[in-house]
Amino acid sequence: MPVNIDLADASNALLFAAVILYALAMLAYACDFAFARQRLLAGVDAAPALVAVGADAVAVPAPADPGRQAVWTAGDQRGRWPTGPWLRTAFGLTCIGLACHVLSILARGLAEHRTPWGNMYEFLTAITCMAVLVLVAASVRYRAYYMGLFVLVPVVLTLGIDLTTIYTPAGSLVPALQSYWIAIHVTAMIVASGLFIFGVVVTTLYLVADRSERRVAAGQPSWSAGILQHLPRSVVLDRLSYRSILFAFPVWTFGVMAGAIWADHAWGRYWGWDPKETWSFITWVAYAMFLHARATAGWRGKRAAWIHLAGFVCLMFNLVGVNLWITGLHSYAGMP
């Protein structure tokens, strides 16, 4: 069937609107960072705080800086929506931008009469959408509103590149992708990748918070002390990152298995060590090492975080590097 040009144009317009809304939300999150300390200093309680994360609660002693106590306690109390005009505005803009993003993907699929992730442009659009969806879910579930700025920065940058450099006009799938398995295999990879992106942002913030806490405790100056005032304790960030990987890893595993079944249908073999297959397996091994180290070796904190970052580097090379620089059976997913 021919491409519906009107729907394709509507998809482009909705995605552009989503980028604008995300950028405005990012600015509002930054303003909240700038003014939250002054706004919350008036109700500071120096008593120890109980930070709720999921079904568990972590008892954390109050930090030496009462301003930081107010900021991270207000951002993590279960049962409360965003406080302060800037944070409410930022979260509202994020949700509206996410709605435009989802509608853009739906319009693209309807315009092409197929699952809308048949090339790198559509794949990156879907992954960033998933990352924002995880951000919104984590904000509501775990009161992780403080993550908004740090997740939206890479999302806005990626979508900007996606719309300007990688953009591919709406069209039909190449013959190799014309299978119902694309809706199974690629969807699983998109969900897992969005969770991995959220997790690595949290892990990076954990490393920053942990370093600052150690330096402040030792009475040494820290360049990240200003950021630290707006984040929860490092133990909370570490746990949130771990939980995102706990959910993402089985989804990635399922995606790799579905890809192997699809490969057997398309090429007559389950596994052929194609570059994309190889790096998907390397990524799986890296994240398996992360989970294994935490579950059996008792690794917590920085050592596990560095394994997590190594896994994310493998993921990014698999998603971008293989498509751009290495020729293989998956080369049709690259840039136009």
Report residue 99's pLDDT band, with 50, 70 and 90 as the boundaries.
very high
In 3D space, the residue among 158, 170, 24 whose CA is nearest the CA of residue 105 turns out to be 170
For the chain, percent of residues with pLDDT exceeding 70: 80
Separation between Cα atoms, residue 172 and residue 109, nearest integer Å:
10
* pLDDT 10s digits, 296-313: 767 777 888 999 999 999
Distances (CA, A) of 60 to 36, 72, 142, 290, 321: 21, 11, 16, 25, 41
Distance set, CA 335 to CA 26, 176, 200, 286, 323 (Å): 28, 16, 25, 27, 7
Task: Count structural domains, the chain.
Answer: 1
pLDDT tens digit string along 305-334? 999 999 999 999 988 888 777 766 666 555
Cα 150 from Cα 170, distance rounded (Å): 31
Spatial distance between the Cα atoms of 12 and 35, rounded to a whole number of angstroms = 35
* pLDDT in the model for residue 316: 92
pLDDT band at 242 (very low <50, low <70, confident <90, very high): very high
pLDDT at 330: 64
- Render 208-250 in DSSP notation, one character per residue: HHHHHHHHHHTT---TTHHHHTTS--HHHHHHHHHHHHHHHHH
Which one-letter amino acid corresponds to residue 16? F
Q: Decide if pLDDT at 64 tops 50.
A: no
* 184 DSSP assignment: I
The residue length of the chain stands at: 336
Q: pLDDT digits over 175-186, tens only?
A: 777 888 889 999
Q: Is 14 exposed, middle or buried (CB count within 10 Å of its CB: 0-12, 13-18, 19+)?
A: buried
Q: pLDDT for 117-164, tens place per residue?
A: 888 899 999 999 999 999 999 999 888 888 999 999 999 999 999 999
Output the average pLDDT for the chain.
83
Assess contact for 196 and 248: CB atoms under 8 A. yes
Element (H, E) at 60: strand 56-60
Say how far apart CA 231 and CA 144 lie, in whole Å.
9
What tokens appear for 329 in the block? 């059976």
Whether pLDDT at 286 is above 90: yes
Q: How far apart are CA 52 and CA 73, in angstroms?
A: 10
* Boundaries of domain holding 128: 5-333
* CA atoms of 249 and 287, how far apart (whole Å): 7
Tens digits of residue pLDDT in 189-213: 999 999 999 999 999 999 988 888 8
- Hey, what amino acid is at 311? G
Task: Note the pLDDT of residue 222.
Answer: 59
